[in-house]
């Protein structure tokens, strides 16, 4: 079952410590993974392969998704333009 994140204003969220934000991510791994996928898709659709192609035409790419010990995800990306 997907749970909603705690509600709060932008100021309240911005005022959270890094530990508090990490705790929310640890308690909601499904939402954290969904958000990460959304950000990766947006990066690809609008920046790398967007209409204006600001980086140029991508001929080859390689992606690798990694996770830190505390669970935060990141992507290693190599593009041949």
Domain range annotation of the chain: 10-80
pTM, 2 dp = 0.67
Per residue of the chain (81 residues), give pLDDT as tens.
455 666 667 787 788 888 887 788 788 888 888 888 999 999 999 888 888 888 889 899 999 998 877 667 889 999 999
Residue 16's Cβ-count burial label (10 Å; 0-12, 13-18, 19+) is middle
Q: How far is residue 66 from each of residues 19, 20, 52, 72, 78, measured CA to CA in Å?
A: 20, 22, 29, 8, 14
- In residues, how long is the chain? 81
């Amino acid at each position: 079952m997907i749970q909603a994140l705690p509600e709060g204003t932008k100021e309240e969220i911005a005022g959270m410590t890094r530990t508090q934000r990490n705790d929310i991510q640890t308690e909601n791994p499904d939402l954290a993974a969904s958000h990460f996928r959304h950000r990766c898709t947006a990066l690809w659709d609008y920046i790398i392969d967007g209409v204006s192609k600001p980086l140029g035409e991508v001929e080859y790419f390689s992606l690798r998704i990694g996770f830190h010990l505390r669970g935060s995800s990141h992507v290693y990306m190599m593009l041949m333009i």
